Every structure is written in structure tokens, then in C-alpha cells.
Homo-oligomer: A and B are copies of this chain.
Amino acid sequence: MTEIAADRNVLALTCPSRVIFARIGDRWTMFIVLALADRTMRFTELKNSIGPVAPKVLTETLRALEDDGLVARDSFPDSPPRVEYSLTDLGRSLLEPIAAMRAWAERHVPEVLASRERALD
């Protein structure tokens, strides 16, 4: 009974890969992680560097990353308020597999896009 039947299949919905691909696959997460790879950033700074993201969505995504322990949020009691976001050690460790995926993408996505366009006929 210590063995859980539902875990026999690596394709189960709780599959670790599924969790991480779902997280990275969303609209802004990867841009945020990459922006924070170099340095700590403030909310508006982040907002300006990653593109036209609505504040609500940016907040949601940052909270999710924070909940997952990938991003740290540090607020300072200044006026005007100052909040800094940075990658945690866990978040930084994610940069390596991301780099592998990005390398593949740089090399092969043009092929993918070409194929996608051919499919429109």
C-alpha cells in the first residue's frame, strides 16, 4: 500500500515534466526568468523590459513564480515603494535546461516556422 498505483505511468498528470513545462509554457514566465537571469529588477523595470504585459498579469505570474520558489520578492519600506524581484537558487538552476531548449530553438525554429507556413496552403 506504500506503492501508489497512479504513479506507475510516467505520463501521469502529476508528472514532474508536465508541471515544469506548463509553468514555463505560459505567456510571460520565460521572459521574466530570462530578464532576471542577469540581475535583480523592480516591478516597472521588469514590465518595461519584457513587453506589453498588463500589470495584473505580471503580478499574477510573479506570484506564481514566487509560490513555486523560483523567484524571490523583496520589498523595502521606502517612499515611493520599492520592490525587487530576483531568481532564487532554484530559479537560477533552471537556466541550464532553458539554455539547452533555447539553443535548439535558435537552430531549428526557423524550420518549424517554414513548415508551419507551408501547412497554410
Contact = CB atoms under 8 A, between A and B. Distances in A.
A113 B70 CA distance: 11
Interface string A42-56: 000000011100000
Which of A22, A24, A109: most chain B CB closer than 10 A?
A109
B13 A109 contact: no
Q: Say how many copies of this protein the assembly contains.
A: 2
Interface of A: 9-13, 16-26, 30-31, 34-35, 49-51, 66-70, 90, 93-94, 96-98, 100-106, 108-116, 119
A11 B18 CA distance: 24
Nearest to A63: B119
Nearest to A50: B11
A111 B21 contact: no
